[in-house]
Amino acid sequence: MEAAERTISQILTEQIRYEIPAYQRPYSWEKGNVEQLLDDVWEAYEANDAEYFIGSLITIEREKGRLYDVVDGQQRLTTLNLIFSRLRDAVDEPAKSELGRRVLPRNALTGEEETPRLTLRQRDQGFFRRYVLAGEAIPKAVVDDIAKEQDAPKQRIVENLEAINAFIAQHDQKTLKLFANYLLSKVYVVFVTTASWQSAYRLFNVLNARGMALSNADLIKNMLFAQLGGNAARSSDLDDAWLELEEQIGIERLDQFLAHHRSSVIAIKARKSLHEEFEPLIGAASSPFAFLDELNTSARNYLRIQRNAFEAPAARRAIRSLQRLAFEEWIPPLLAYLNKPVAGLPESEFIDLLERITYQNWIRRLAFTARLTAYFQLITAIRAGKTADDIRAIFRANANDDEFQTLLDGEVYGRPFAQAVLLRLEEADQDESVTKDFGGKITIEHVLPQALKEPYWRERFSDDEHRLWLHRLGNLALLAGIKNYKAQYFAFERKKKIYSERNNRVSFDTTKPILAAEHWTKELLAKRQADLVQLGKQIWSVNV
């Protein structure tokens, strides 16, 4: 390994080229990162600082003094190419040609483009070369397509070019030329070279251990490429398989998916960092390609869950209900089932049972570890190829219908599950052909108010009766919009008027019967309580 201080002029020179290897993440710097870099260098330029250091550039030397793979420093190096490309387009000759040769040199005799100084990943290189290095204007249709496809690397390039253009627009040509000269001659990096894949692999992990910004996905991908043992002939195929995974899930959600996939395979709590947990899984696979095939299958099923792309209406309703939870531990057992379906156990039945046990354990206020017990038992049984009846038995064994029903019949308001329960009861009031989407601000209102200030309420409820009914399901109503605290103690007629106004925006069927009542009585409250609890039992009881 060698390291030396180099100016930007020395690293962006005619004889040196850089490539972003397949195991690297795509370009991800955001507008704020670019603006910060420009502001920092501009401040150093204005202060006439003798030098300004912007970090390290760590590479694998593939051709002596000529071709390097970028291990760390891709974000800065790519951004420098963006900056110099736009500076080139903003100045006249001979400065234009001088800056041009730093990013995309041209043959002085023919005017033809030569090999660019930097080559990005295969998927992004065509866009980068055409609209950055060659300086073509980006058509609006292309920008729209990038946004539609949520192509994050290209979106970052477009946004960052806009930030650089805004910076350039503030200065005249003379100033821009002087600033470009400062960038080239006074801005430094530490240029580090390594000689092999093995060195790069060790360095990559050392960087992560020292807190560098490497994601678990980066390190898992690096493990897969390391298994190729430097087999360049297969690295392109492996990169295509990984690219399929990135395109399916999206780079921003990749670590989250990988964590769920890991749990769907290893039914124990994680004891190490995510990439370390994946190491034995990768080692046990017959090849990195076989491992990625399994991972891509799991990714497709994960997207089914995220998009609620299930055929049966009951399954879609149950998934919507699960997605309202404050946790996602239910995803790995469902992912395990979708990756390896159980004969004789239909998809809709498994999802229905999963919603039942999940809500029971939430309402029973089980702790994290206790909730995981049922999920891990399900995953283990599915992976072991157990029968449908074995899986059903696990759901039954982990259920406690009596405790769940007692708690559902008790105080609900203020519990983490209160709104999710009320919304699920709202859906259950309709047949499965009806789909309800709940958006905007939703609040829970006490019909019988929290303080008996009005004579109307004091005449109808004693203090003991007030305490008994206040926070139970029968006394809770869903409302749209921000809660009107000034109205919370009003008599029933005034409250109904408020509810009616709110429900012009969002219609809650479980709230409508309240509007039809002449008075809010103990008898009416008790009946509503019994009806809602009975509905909850039908939805979430397991041993029925």
Task: With respect to residue 375, please indicate whether it lies within any of the assigned structural domains.
Answer: yes
DSSP state for residue 129 in the 8-state scheme:
I
Tell me: do 324 and 383 sit in the same domain.
Answer: yes
The H or E element containing residue 200 is helix 197-209
> Which residues are CB-contacts of 493 (< 8 A; sequence separation ≥ 6)?
none
- What token pair was written down for 412? 């609900």
Domain boundary among 209, 226, 260: 209
Instruction: Tell me the C-alpha distance between 481 and 473, whole Å.
Output: 20
Cα dist from 425 to 195, 318, 325, 428, 538, whole Å: 63, 12, 15, 5, 10
Task: With respect to residue 413, please indicate whether it lies within any of the assigned structural domains.
Answer: no
Of 80, 115, 84, 111, the closest CA to residue 100 belongs to 84
| Dihedral angle sign, alpha carbons of residues 203, 206, 212, 217 | positive
| Straight-line distance from the first to the last Cα atom of the chain, in angstroms, rounded to the nearest whole number | 68
Q: How many separate domains does the chain show? A: 4
How high is the pLDDT of residue 295?
Answer: 95
pLDDT in tens, the chain (544 residues): 677 899 999 999 878 999 988 767 788 899 999 999 999 999 999 999 999 999 888 888 888 888 998 888 889 999 999 999 999 999 999 999 999 989 988 776 666 777 899 999 888 999 999 999 999 999 999 999 988 887 889 999 999 999 999 999 999 999 999 999 999 999 999 888 877 666 665 665 565 544 445 578 877 887 888 787 656 567 778 888 888 898 888 877 898 999 999 999 999 988 888 888 999 999 999 999 999 999 999 999 999 999 999 999 999 999 999 999 989 999 999 999 999 999 999 999 999 999 999 999 999 999 888 999 999 999 999 999 999 999 999 999 999 999 999 999 999 999 999 999 999 999 886 766 666 666 667 889 899 998 888 899 999 999 999 999 999 999 998 887 655 544 567 888 887 777 676 555 446 888 888 888 999 999 999 999 999 999 999 999 998 6
How high is the pLDDT of residue 152?
Answer: 86
pTM to 2 decimal places? 0.71
Task: With respect to residue 418, please indicate whether it lies within any of the assigned structural domains.
Answer: no
Instruction: Tell me the C-alpha distance between 490 and 453, whole Å.
Output: 8
> Three-state SS for 456?
helix
Domain boundary among 209, 242, 266: 209
Beta carbons within 10 angstroms of residue 522's beta carbon: 14
Tell me: do 12 and 130 sit in the same domain.
Answer: yes
Domain residues for 269? 216-306
The H or E element containing residue 223 is helix 216-227
> Three-state SS for 503?
coil
Domain boundary among 167, 193, 209: 209
CB 333 within 8 A of CB 379: yes
Task: With respect to residue 467, please indicate whether it lies within any of the assigned structural domains.
Answer: yes
Instruction: Tell me the C-alpha distance between 46 and 475, whole Å.
Output: 67
Task: With respect to residue 107, please indicate whether it lies within any of the assigned structural domains.
Answer: yes
Lookup result for tokens 């399954």: 315
